[in-house]
Structure 1
């Protein structure tokens, strides 16, 4: 994802973050939220105060479509 930004944009509110229902019960998952500028914010659920990465909607769309098509299945165990 070439448009990845690691910057100081306004973080989404805590109530806006979502993670997959398939996530590990101990919280080992990524969380996503819509940022104020319309981009998609991504963070590590184990470090909610840590870094947040921002992606454009087209970048997230391409990733989700690839994930649904099984393109990243090799990364799971």
Structure 2
């Protein structure tokens, strides 16, 4: 039963991703069209966290560089 529900969930996720990409291509084929709600959700979930991490990464790297480990 668990394998069947996992397979159904995986199929649902795959269908959602295909729908999102199709929606993105359909709505944004021209440069003057605004993104739809699915593209906004895609941006918030996948793109925005990466940009936050990239802006946070240099300060974190400086903090790591300032730590001196004993020999």
Using the size of structure 2 for normalisation, the TM-score is 0.32
Structure with greater helix share of residues: 2
Greater RCO (CA < 8 Å, at least 6 residues apart): 1
| Largest Rg, 1 or 2 | 2
Structure with greater strand share of residues: 1
Using the size of structure 1 for normalisation, the TM-score is 0.31
